[in-house]
Amino acid sequence: MKKIEDILGHYRAGSHESLIPILQDIQAEEGYLSENAIVQIGRFLEMSTTKIYGLATFYDRFRFIPCGKVHLRICDGTTCFINGSEAVINAIRENLGIEPGQTTRDGKFSYELTSCMGGCNEGPVINVGDNYHNHVKPEDIPELITKLKVLADLK
């Protein structure tokens, strides 16, 4: 709650053009946009929550549910795409049974697609916390997820 107030304190009340930067800041801090955050933003910017949700859902980078214990970021940049990221993303989708931006029912996993992470020569690239997995192939995904489940169980 305090963190959201702090973030809002950096913006001018009622300034609708601040909406997207505010949403980005809050998501960076909290990991997702909670209902409470949307309500507070609405009060601060004097906008309806319906309008805020409408605008926020237009951008696929915003999340409305908490991330899983293990959150994967999969590069969806052009070079990784050329190197086969689409098949990797499909393998993750199949393995976890969720779409980008969703969290598994057990709360262990979530994933998102990101723009270039700066490791194009090493692509397809997956980032998990401080670790980067390079040259990932679809057939690597079951073993990677199995290893990450151990990590999720420890959290």
Which chain residues interact with ligand FES by CB under 6 A? 75, 77-80, 116-120, 123, 125
Nearest distance, CB of residue 122 and ligand FES, angstroms: 7
Q: Which is nearer to ligand FES, 107 or 119 (CB)?
A: 119
Nearest distance, CB of residue 80 and ligand FES, angstroms: 3
According to DSSP, the residues that pair with 109 across neighbouring strands are 70
Q: Which is nearer to ligand FES, 52 or 125 (CB)?
A: 125
Q: Which is nearer to ligand FES, 6 or 60 (CB)?
A: 60
In whole angstroms, how large is the CA radius of gyration of the chain?
17
Nearest distance, CB of residue 120 and ligand FES, angstroms: 3
Q: Which is nearer to ligand FES, 36 or 121 (CB)?
A: 121
* Structural element, H or E, at residue 141: helix 141-154
Nearest distance, CB of residue 93 and ligand FES, angstroms: 18
Query: What is the DSSP code string of 30-41?
Result: HSS--HHHHHHH
Residue nearest to ligand FES (CB): 77
Nearest distance, CB of residue 132 and ligand FES, angstroms: 9
Please tell me the distance from the alpha carbon of residue 73 to that of residue 38, in angstroms, as a whole number. 24
Give the Å distances, CA to CA, from 57 to 70, 131, 155: 23, 29, 30
Q: Which is nearer to ligand FES, 5 or 60 (CB)?
A: 60
Q: In 3-state terms, the chain is what percent helix, strand and coil (to 5)? A: 50, 10, 35
Please tell me the distance from the alpha carbon of residue 129 to that of residue 71, in angstroms, as a whole number. 7
